A = this chain, B = another copy of it.
């Protein structure tokens, strides 16, 4: 088995950190309790382990190919996608009204992780479809919904996000694509879009492009951007596919990683204009795109966790098998599997602790999303929404940055073999490298964290979350175990560091923007580090309580002890970095911008 879904850990997070049984009390989620979640996750594991994971290496060696505007995906992708859609996996988190299963995001996130662990390139197609569904659900007219949503939710058609243009990457104000209104209410779309994931492929009968463009006469900048649905094939009144629309894939990119996923350059309107349908109102496109992007950003964070998990599993398997040198403590009097060497353990524990910490963070953030959308009390919804929105840049930014480090450690554990492509560890190192870039670079996530999530409310949300961390510290303090004491100490120091940075950010964003943004990414890393460490600290409390029960609450005691050991490792080796990051942010801003541009 090249991939085994970490079901125990996922279910632990769902039950004890995300509170799946609380989620199941929310209107609409009545049937989504722990047992349902467990059944869904087990089925999902079977599918991804058996069908999707085996295609991962082959896809890397045989990337998608382009010919005359058509893209042929990697071997087996078409068939696996058909099975994916057939089994209903695309609709997992989407409303029953459009054919979905309406399960909580907390459950869906675990499934998204498995799909991405199995095959990052494959998983990108459903990931983008999810984003398109979210945008249409929120902003589209009933007519547009009626035509597209069911087909997207069933996976029969797939979705894309068309934002980037050669001159407009992070800066969408520079978008130039045009939309000319037609007398029949449609628009003619023209322009060039680049970096369009699954912008063309052979896995589905139709592709629903969501495209940012400017309506003739619209204002400059981001306030003149509108969002359109531009299907690859026009849809007849009876729902059947009609004419080919005026959008053409002119090439696909040659990339460092995720090679099986086609990254398209799309040309709209070369033959007079692609037919587009406005989503929502004119000039509000960016706002709608953000809905889509927030869903996608969270999902990309989960991609980071997913590739880290896969890299970890591969490294563990190798470390248990590869025999080299005697252990330094003399415990084995012959060459031993390298997992017996302390530095190999250190690397594996780093990989494991990062992965489990970020998984727990993502699970808890998803639970907040579920409450924000389903709780009957408006104030509870608002609080959960604020919590979720604070976590999105952390899930995205921190989990993806750590995934690069984890994938790199995975190569290192393999030694020379790690550098040989046939081994497979290098693929994760290449694949992971996109995650801190697409759907907003880490700097863009950090801008969001600084501006919209911290400075805008004067740091109130951040401080509220820090108060929750402090409450966890209070619970930890009741434990006498050395593990709990070690975790408590680092958690307290990290929270204090975080609070000082929040004050620095909230207090200086207006007056000294350079100083604050010089530390924006370090702030994101500190915040992500703390929040993941917090969830692991909560896990220690839960695991110690379960171990104190005669039947350990039905959980595997070895798993619980490992959870505690992993949390302590995280605290000692990762969370312990927080105070230094604070210093760099609060005292080091000046040196970031001291060098004049022409001195570089």
Q: Measuring CB to CB, which residues of chain A are less than 8 angstroms from any residue of chain B? A: 164, 167, 169-171, 173-174, 194-195, 253-257, 316, 319-320, 323-325, 328-330, 335, 337, 339-346, 348-349, 352, 404, 408, 411-412, 415-416, 418-422, 426, 429-430, 433-434, 436-438, 441-443, 446, 486, 513-514, 517-522, 558, 561-562, 565-566, 568-569, 571-573, 576-577, 579-580, 583-584, 587-588, 591-595, 597, 599-600
Instruction: Find A343's partner among B348, B352, B446, B579 (CB 8 Å cutoff).
Output: B446
Instruction: Find A573's partner among B170, B320, B349, B584 (CB 8 Å cutoff).
Output: B584
Instruction: Find A576's partner among B255, B519, B588 (CB 8 Å cutoff).
Output: B588
Instruction: Find A572's partner among B256, B330, B337, B591 (CB 8 Å cutoff).
Output: B591
Interchain Cβ contacts under 8 Å between A and B, 14 examples: A171-B335, A174-B324, A337-B597, A345-B593, A346-B522, A348-B600, A404-B408, A411-B437, A426-B433, A486-B591, A558-B599, A561-B599, A569-B591, A576-B580
Nearest CB to that of A328 among chain B residues? B513
Smallest CB separation, A27 vs chain B (Å):
40
Beyond A169-B324, A329-B514, A443-B341, whether A594 also contacts B568 by CB under 8 A is yes
Structural contact, B415 and A169, CB atoms closer than 8 A: yes
Which of chain B's residues have a CB closer than 8 A to the CB of A576? 580, 583-584, 588
Structural contact, A433 and B420, CB atoms closer than 8 A: no
Nearest CB to that of A404 among chain B residues? B408
Which of chain B's residues have a CB closer than 8 A to the CB of A323? 167
Question: Taking chain A's interface residues, is the majority helix, strand, or loop, or is none over half, making it mixed?
Answer: helix
Structural contact, A256 and B600, CB atoms closer than 8 A: no
Structural contact, A420 and B254, CB atoms closer than 8 A: yes
Nearest CB to that of A427 among chain B residues? B256
Apart from A352-B600, A411-B437, A577-B580, 7 more pairs, CB < 8 Å: A170-B415, A195-B416, A256-B430, A342-B518, A416-B438, A565-B591, A569-B592
Q: How many Å lie between the Cα of A253 and that of B592 in the bound state?
A: 42
Instruction: Find A320's partner among B170, B519, B597 (CB 8 Å cutoff).
Output: B597
Structural contact, A164 and B436, CB atoms closer than 8 A: no
Which of chain B's residues have a CB closer than 8 A to the CB of A441? 412, 415
Structural contact, B580 and A565, CB atoms closer than 8 A: no
Structural contact, B573 and A343, CB atoms closer than 8 A: no
Structural contact, B433 and A257, CB atoms closer than 8 A: no
Which of chain B's residues have a CB closer than 8 A to the CB of A597? 320, 337, 339-340
Beyond A349-B592, A576-B580, whether A335 also contacts B565 by CB under 8 A is no
Structural contact, A517 and B565, CB atoms closer than 8 A: no
Which of chain B's residues have a CB closer than 8 A to the CB of A430? 256, 430
Beyond A343-B443, A419-B433, A433-B411, whether A588 also contacts B600 by CB under 8 A is no
The 5 closest A-B pairs by CB, nearest first: A572-B588, A343-B443, A328-B513, A569-B591, A256-B426
Structural contact, B437 and A429, CB atoms closer than 8 A: no
Which of chain B's residues have a CB closer than 8 A to the CB of A169? 324, 415-416
Q: How many Å lie between the Cα of A329 and that of B517 in the bound state?
A: 10
Structural contact, A429 and B433, CB atoms closer than 8 A: yes
Structural contact, B437 and A416, CB atoms closer than 8 A: yes
Smallest CB separation, A318 vs chain B (Å):
11
Smallest CB separation, A301 vs chain B (Å):
17
Nearest CB to that of A418 among chain B residues? B437
Q: How many Å lie between the Cα of A565 and that of B595 in the bound state?
A: 6
Which of chain B's residues have a CB closer than 8 A to the CB of A320? 597, 600
Q: How many Å lie between the Cα of A339 and that of B597 in the bound state?
A: 7
Which of chain B's residues have a CB closer than 8 A to the CB of A558? 599
Q: How many Å lie between the Cα of A467 and that of B430 in the bound state?
A: 43
Which of chain B's residues have a CB closer than 8 A to the CB of A573? 584, 588, 591-592
Q: How many Å lie between the Cα of A518 and that of B344 in the bound state?
A: 9
Instruction: Find A345's partner among B346, B418, B595 (CB 8 Å cutoff).
Output: B595
Q: How many Å lie between the Cα of A330 and that of B510 in the bound state?
A: 11
Which of chain B's residues have a CB closer than 8 A to the CB of A587? 486, 572
Q: How many Å lie between the Cα of A416 and that of B404 in the bound state?
A: 16
Nearest CB to that of A422 among chain B residues? B254
Structural contact, B335 and A173, CB atoms closer than 8 A: yes
Smallest CB separation, A255 vs chain B (Å):
6
Nearest CB to that of A429 among chain B residues? B433
Smallest CB separation, A491 vs chain B (Å):
14
Structural contact, A437 and B420, CB atoms closer than 8 A: no
Which of chain B's residues have a CB closer than 8 A to the CB of A411? 256, 433, 437
Q: How many Å lie between the Cα of A285 and that of B599 in the bound state?
A: 50
Which of chain B's residues have a CB closer than 8 A to the CB of A316? 600
Smallest CB separation, A285 vs chain B (Å):
18
Nearest CB to that of A412 among chain B residues? B436
Which of A344, A412, A441 has the most chain B CB atoms inside 10 A of its CB?
Answer: A412
Nearest CB to that of A599 among chain B residues? B562
Which of chain B's residues have a CB closer than 8 A to the CB of A171? 324-325, 335
Smallest CB separation, A1 vs chain B (Å):
16
